[in-house]
Structure 1
Amino acid sequence: MHTDFTGTGAVGAVDAGRRPVPVAFSLLGPFRCWAGGQEVDLGAPQQRALLATLLLHDGVVTTVESLIDALWGTTPPRSGVTVIRTYISRLRQVIGDASPSGQIRIDSMAGGYAVRVPPQSVDVVCFRRLTLEAGAAMRRDDAAGAARSLREALALRHGLPLTGLPGPYVQGQRARLQQLISDAEVSLVEAEFRLGRYQEVLPDLRALLVEHPLRERLHELFMAALYRLGRQADALTHYQVMRQRFVEELGIEPGARLRDLHRQILLGGPNQGSAEPARMPGRRSVARRRSVSAPYGGRTRQRR
């Protein structure tokens, strides 16, 4: 499946059967909607945030009270219920114009609302599907297939998720989406590593380590890639610098896997970059990463 959620390429999106998707929603960047290759005006920021909230619940009914909390948190206006109903009415008009066939609609039920939308029309849903496909490929030892799915997933991002939307709910989901993107980036590096593309993954690993300097898995992959390229001394130097940072900033030694890898590299000899150590960084299935509930959760700064 090829999907264009930016509106800059083919019309909207195309599903697996190569049929045009009438409406496409983009959340992995500024929140935007496309219909027939044209951007749809979704209204004021809070109205847009309401629609994004419903989309992130993936068809699950969201009560009016939950929507008020999502938009205003602990300081809702007295007219919150009326405002929500006004936003829903306006969004129904906009969506009805964009999807006259009724394929996309907002339903009222059980004291709340739910958006009915084809899964291929929402970039977050497509992203999640592709990462699950990558996890299945890794379990089949198909690193090339996993890499293809992950590259397609990461091509859907186009900035900070949910840019321009207000509200505490969106703020939390922005962090979740950033984490999903970050996990996919690491998974892609792991797939490329398993394909033996050690030189190619080094720049990506350096960039990821700048953002996540305390993420041990990245240090494992970086040291292992250096070692496989015959750069034993560089791998050992990186370990010493990393260990010093862990001790100074966290007050702890690196984990057992890193210490074990360090010992293997020490014993490997200066010219054994192509050798297979007893336990180089092992595979880690994409599907075993942290799952995210109905609101899908990219790249976020690693906190101490």
Structure 2
Amino acid sequence: MGLDVARFGALGPLEVSAADGTPVFIGQRKRRRLLSLLLLHAGSWVGTEQIGVALWEDDPPRSALGNIKTYVSELRHALPSPPPTASTSAGHDPPTAAHRPGRIASRDGEYAIRLAPGELDVDLFDAGARAGDDALAEGDPARAVRLLEQALKLWRGRPYDDLPADLAVAETARLEELRWNAWENLADARLRLGQHGLVLPALRALTIEHPTRERLWGQLLVALDQDGRRAEALRAYQAVYRTLTERLGIEPGEDLRALHQRILRGTGGPAATELSGPRPAHADARPAHAGPPPARRHRRGSPR
């Protein structure tokens, strides 16, 4: 991200900083919720009825509309001014009188936030994950590692943590799956570089916590095989075979079975990293560490 734009952090508790990196304090829970809601729907107008549900759930006060206007006014004063490149991207960017438009645009009964490219960490994560995916597909695992680690470091906790969970459930699920894909791509990239020791401990833990994700099991088999632990790799395959057949009534997929056969024949080697299956496509939408996705998410703090 360039130095001429602010930063809005939604991959965890809400964070805002000015272009020079100075933190911008957004106090009071309802102001934080309102800003988080506008960020969740960046690129769209958000109606006052939807805002009321986010702020008061099923019990808005009679003064709800006036309160919303007050919160918007307070946010406009607190937030960094938008750069000239900022836009609502919501079909209409109403001007204000005689000066640069404020950070939050408004029209009859609706509000939208103006963002410039690179200001929202969700967009930065999505772009970084896509670039890392492309680098891996182009046969440049070292570049993929750099890009994917940078993208994964943007995560600080549950996305849109200041909102009630049910309001962001679809976007949170989408981002969590993209994060899984990014971490699994990172593991693939490290395996292609022969860095099995860096991913093996995490893969062991994750296959226990998420025993039906076949791609993780394939990566574990490759890591063990690269480390010269062929017998352990074969035992790991038997473990996933039992898990899938007993829990789901299915056998491992074609890629995992083919990898098992290669290891049985002693021909796993570096080429086995290609057998972790096709990388899932990125969703056609916007999507503090580079470690694996956790088994459980806490409301606050680090994803670990």
TM-score class, shorter: 0.7 to 0.9
Task: Identify the residue that residue 31 of structure 1 maps to in structure 2.
Answer: 14
Q: Trace 1:13-162 onto structure 2 (pairs within 5 A).
A: 15=2, 19-21=3-5, 23-35=6-18, 36-71=20-55, 75-77=58-60, 79=62, 80-95=64-79, 98-99=80-81, 105-109=103-107, 111-162=109-160
Task: Identify the residue that residue 263 of structure 1 maps to in structure 2.
Answer: 261
Counterparts of 2:110 and 2:237 in 1: how far apart (Å)? 54
Counterparts of 1:231 and 1:104 in 2: how far apart (Å)? 60
* 1:230 and 1:273 in contact (8 A); partners too: no
Flag structure 1 segments of 5+ consecutive residues without an equivalent: 2-14
* 1:45 and 1:166 in contact (8 A); partners too: no
Cα-to-partner distance string for 1:99-138 (whole Å, 9 max, x where unaligned): 3875861111364221112222221111111112112222
Aligned letter for 1:29? G
Task: Identify the residue that residue 209 of structure 1 maps to in structure 2.
Answer: 207
Given the superposition, is the C-alpha separation of residues 66 and 40 from structure 1 closer, same or farther in structure 2, using an over 3 Å criterion? same
Given the superposition, is the C-alpha separation of residues 273 and 252 from structure 1 closer, same or farther in structure 2, using an over 3 Å criterion? closer
Aligned partner of residue 119 in structure 1, secondary structure: coil
Shift of 1:251: 2.7
Aligned partner of 2:285 among 288, 293, 300: 293
Aligned partner of residue 247 in structure 2, secondary structure: helix
Counterparts of 1:87 and 1:275 in 2: how far apart (Å)? 57
Counterparts of 1:66 and 1:147 in 2: how far apart (Å)? 40
* 1:49 and 1:170 in contact (8 A); partners too: no
Aligned letter for 1:216? E
Task: Identify the residue that residue 300 of structure 2 maps to in structure 1.
Answer: none
When normalised by structure 2's length, the TM-score is 0.77
Counterparts of 1:129 and 1:140 in 2: how far apart (Å)? 16
Shift of 1:285: 4.3
Cα-to-partner distance string for 1:32-54 (whole Å, 9 max, x where unaligned): 11234433222322321221121
Counterparts of 2:260 and 2:56 in 1: how far apart (Å)? 50
Given the superposition, is the C-alpha separation of residues 197 and 299 from structure 1 closer, same or farther in structure 2, using an over 3 Å criterion? closer
Shift of 1:93: 2.1
Aligned partner of 2:275 among 269, 273, 281: 281
Counterparts of 1:284 and 1:152 in 2: how far apart (Å)? 23
* 2:16 and 2:24 in contact (8 A); partners too: yes
Counterparts of 1:203 and 1:103 in 2: how far apart (Å)? 51
Given the superposition, is the C-alpha separation of residues 104 and 207 from structure 1 closer, same or farther in structure 2, using an over 3 Å criterion? farther
Please provide the CA RMSD for this pair: 2.9
Task: Identify the residue that residue 249 of structure 2 maps to in structure 1.
Answer: 251
Aligned partner of residue 118 in structure 2, secondary structure: helix
Task: Identify the residue that residue 7 of structure 1 maps to in structure 2.
Answer: none
**How many equivalent residue pairs?**
274
Cα-to-partner distance string for 1:211-233 (whole Å, 9 max, x where unaligned): 32210011011112222333221
Given the superposition, is the C-alpha separation of residues 164 and 194 from structure 1 closer, same or farther in structure 2, using an over 3 Å criterion? same
Aligned partner of residue 113 in structure 1, secondary structure: strand
* 1:137 and 1:143 in contact (8 A); partners too: yes
Flag structure 2 segments of 5+ consecutive residues without an equivalent: 84-99, 297-304
Aligned letter for 1:293? A
Counterparts of 2:227 and 2:156 in 1: how far apart (Å)? 33
Given the superposition, is the C-alpha separation of residues 141 and 222 from structure 1 closer, same or farther in structure 2, using an over 3 Å criterion? same
* 2:40 and 2:168 in contact (8 A); partners too: no
When normalised by structure 1's length, the TM-score is 0.77
Shift of 1:276: 4.3
Given the superposition, is the C-alpha separation of residues 100 and 106 from structure 1 closer, same or farther in structure 2, using an over 3 Å criterion? closer
* 2:45 and 2:112 in contact (8 A); partners too: yes
